[in-house]
Amino acid sequence: MEQDIKVIICEFVDHLLPDLTPYEASLYLYLLRNSVLHNGSPEIRVGKRTMAVGYGTGSRGVKTNYAHITKIIKGLEAKECIRIGDTNREGTLYIINLPRDIPIVAEKIAGFAAQDQEEDYFTDPEKRRIVFERDKWICQYCGEGVTTKNITIDHYIPQKDGGGHNKENLRTSCLVCNGIKSGKPYEEAAPLLLKSIQERKARSQS
C-alpha cells in the first residue's frame, strides 16, 4: 500500500494538479485522504457542512461555507475526479476516482507511454544521421547547407511542450538557428529566425 500511495501522489502532482483550481485540489486531497488512503475504499459518505469543517479555513482564516463546498464539488464532478451517489442522514456518498482513472490524467499517461515507445532519433548517432540525410544536410530554418562543424538537431515541438525524439518532430538545424529556436514554439521563434536570416544575408552581401 505504501508503494501505491507514492504512485497516487506522484500521479496527482504530475498530471492532475495542473488541471485543478487550488480549492479543487485541496478538496480532492481531503476526500482522498478520508477514503482511499484511510481505509482502501474509494467511497466516503459525508455531509457538506462536515466537509467544510474538515476542509479547514482559507489563508485569511475564513471558514469554507456550504455554498463554496457545493461549487467545488461540482467542479470536481465535472472533471470526473469524483462521482456522487445517494444522500441520507449521514451525508452524501462520494466515490473518489484515483488520478490514473480520471480521463484527463489517463490521456496524459497514455501520451507519455506512447512517447516512450517511439524510436529515438535524437540521442542515437546513427539515427541522427538519418534525419540529416532526410533533410539533405540543409538547415530547415534558414535553408543554408550545414557541415559536421555546425550541424545540430532541433525539436520542432519543444520537449517542454510534449515534443518527442521521433523522426517527424526533429529538424536539421544550423547552430545559429538552433540557438534562436531552441525551446520555443516555431510560431514564437519565426520572427526571430527571419530577422537573423536577413541580417546574415545582409552581412554576406556587404
Cα–Cα dist 55/148, whole Å:
60
Average pLDDT of the chain? 89
pLDDT of residue 63: 60
Question: Architecture of domain 2-104 in CATH?
Answer: Orthogonal Bundle (1.10)
pLDDT < 50 regions, the chain: 59
Q: Per-residue pLDDT tens for 15-65?
A: 899 999 999 999 999 999 999 999 999 999 999 888 888 766 554 555 678
* CA dist 138 → 16, 152, 205 (Å): 41, 11, 21
* CA dist 149 → 146, 165, 180 (Å): 8, 22, 18
Does domain 118-205 bear CATH number 1.20.120.80?
no
Beta bridge pairs of residue 92: 46, 87
Cα–Cα dist 180/173, whole Å:
10
Fold agreement (2-104, 118-205)? no
Q: Is the pTM of this model over 0.95?
A: no
pLDDT of residue 59: 47
pLDDT of residue 160: 84
Per-domain boundaries in the chain: 2-104, 118-205
